[in-house]
Structure 1
Amino acid sequence: GTTINSVTRIMTQGSIQNTDKNTDVAIQGDGFFIVSSDAGSTYKYSRSGDFKFDANGNFVDNGGFIVQGWVRDEVTGKVDSTAPITSINIPPGLTTPANPSSVVTLKANLDSGETVETFNPTTTMDTYSLTDYLAYVAASPGPYTVAQSNANTIRTANTNAAEDMKVMFNEQGRSMVMQAGQGVWVSYKPATNNQTVLGVAGAFSFDLNGTTITGTTPGAVAADNAGYIAQQINAKTALTGVVATVGTGGALVLTNDNSRASDLDATKNIRITAVNAGATAVGLVATVADTTNTTAYNYTYQSNAVDLANNATPINTTFRTTEQLRLIMQEHSQLVTGSTGVEVIIND
């Protein structure tokens, strides 16, 4: 037989080498790996880092001894190095693929050695010269359409920097990444329209926001006729956005709060067209002043250069820069009498 004459402990640092196994580890400097064959009741010490996961998810060496260490707390997500060590185990199937970071939040102190320039935190809003506009009004008494008002309002030069909306970021650091054709509807106040309904029986037809409303008024009582017309209108509110009620003296009161979640013109504002003779007979008057009320506007982003003068239809306008959007919003808010705020509706 044979016997071991002596055992020499070599405690010097060996060289660190790369392997093709991602569970191989090594110690640089002093220390030992701790392994156990009895769930931590007894410990063995080793400098060999040739480890792997067994079928039960235990992190083991080639002898089947389980590596001991500290594991992350499932509640706090932290590793407590003051707690007792335990067997390292990752149940099979719980591995998670790599996921790239989507948002990085940085909190840092400014360099106290840098000179801080002074600045005025207040930015003057765009101003308007009303001299030529008032002269136009005096020479051409109203009523005015939105297009007429826009065409004769004189804008002063704007010194604020114009930035492409596509490259802007919100307060969380996320890029807006706007695409051509995306935008918002902005409602400055609900659109309203009042119609005087007469006590005349007869068939009527008119278009409300592009949807045809038809029926036959019941008789000689104006309030009854108004109630009947309101029923026909409310049956198609989903298409028009308009809600009808009967007001004082049997008046027909139309309201559109512009809140329908749609990017279609048909659910915004109030537009009455194609009024037939029967509708006129019961009191629906086909004039612009009586049939149109615009309080919501659609602003659509375009990636190419935009000339605001080319926005022929004021309800639907295009923009590219932050200053163009602010400018047209200021103009439209002035056109809406009695506007008290802005409600923004994101296009679908």
Structure 2
Amino acid sequence: MASESRLLWIIFAVLVALIVVPLSLWRLSEARRPILEEVRIVTATEDDPVFRPGPRRVAPGAELRIAAALRIRQAGGSDLWLAPVDQLEIDGAPVEHINGRRWQEDDRVLRVFWFTVEGSYLGGDLTVDNAEKLLGQRPYLAPEMGRGLLAKTVPEQHNDDQINLGDEVYPVVGGTIRLYAKVEVAEKADSLAAEQAAASWGVDEVDNPDFTTIRMAALFPEPVSPVLGELFRLPGFEPQPAVSGSWDDITLDARGLTFTELVARRYVASSLTFASIAVTGGLEMDTAGLESLGRLSLNTDEPLRAGRPIKWGDDVRPGDLLVDRGQFIVLLADDGDGVLGLTDRVALCWRRPPVMTTLDQATRDDAVETELFRHGS
């Protein structure tokens, strides 16, 4: 009996060892897995090839590259950075990093979800009562950027995905872009659940001056300022103050900033501020100081001044403004016939994001007359 009992104990011990030892080894292996600690969105351009987080201004036509940099905690407790870039700078200093696109373990994969952070509304009339609602920001999934640490492309505007604006609109390579990224570590690319996840700053941090905000200038005919390109993609609002109030103060309660400050920080635009940046590069245009070049009739096949066609070069030039009841239209280019016509190219921001379009698409439906202005000589 003693020998049988001893044999049973030996068998039991072996069985326990067969279970406990692999389990302990598995737990040890899992405990030594790298841990995803932090995600930073970093950007670079051909003129400035060092990838770094934070805001960036991009010159007209410059190629923009976007990537996610990951801070990873290793088994020994030290940190390392992983990013698919040659040069990486974090918090103002160059950092050593692994230049790669894959997670450190062969049995795990990375999944990156790129988002833009945009206004929840495209535009409209803005009042004290509706400012908090209309000025809200939210993330929009940007699948065109891919699922990797290095974004495939600059994202599109997404808050207008479900809206057909219907106009003849010319593309503008410019605009202000805010970005957010969520990174997951999973067993497989199609796994339902992630084992680890981390994200960059999101909507709650959008006011942080270090948020990833990209301001892309654009090329326009001189003397129109390239800075005008930064206003594209932004919601277009027309401030409607109370009888005794200031139009610039209607956003103070909702955002703690004046409307002009919101424009300066590239959250919104309006018709007046759009025109000001077009002709001055800033917000200092004095409408009282604009030179009137006369009133134009719009109820004919082409705009006329005193019954005569308006010639490009002699009578009108890029950067001149057409103003009708608070709507500012920036003239950009002739369609080739030498006179101001309904198919000439213009830009405006009127209760929606800025667009570059044709004059007939830009004027109000009930417009029969407008006034031509020029800033400076």
Bucket of the pairwise TM-score, normalised by the shorter protein: under 0.3
Q: Larger C-alpha radius of gyration, 1 or 2?
A: 1
Normalised to the residue count of structure 1, the TM-score between the two structures is 0.18
Q: TM-score, normalised by structure 2?
A: 0.17
Name the one with the larger strand percent. 2
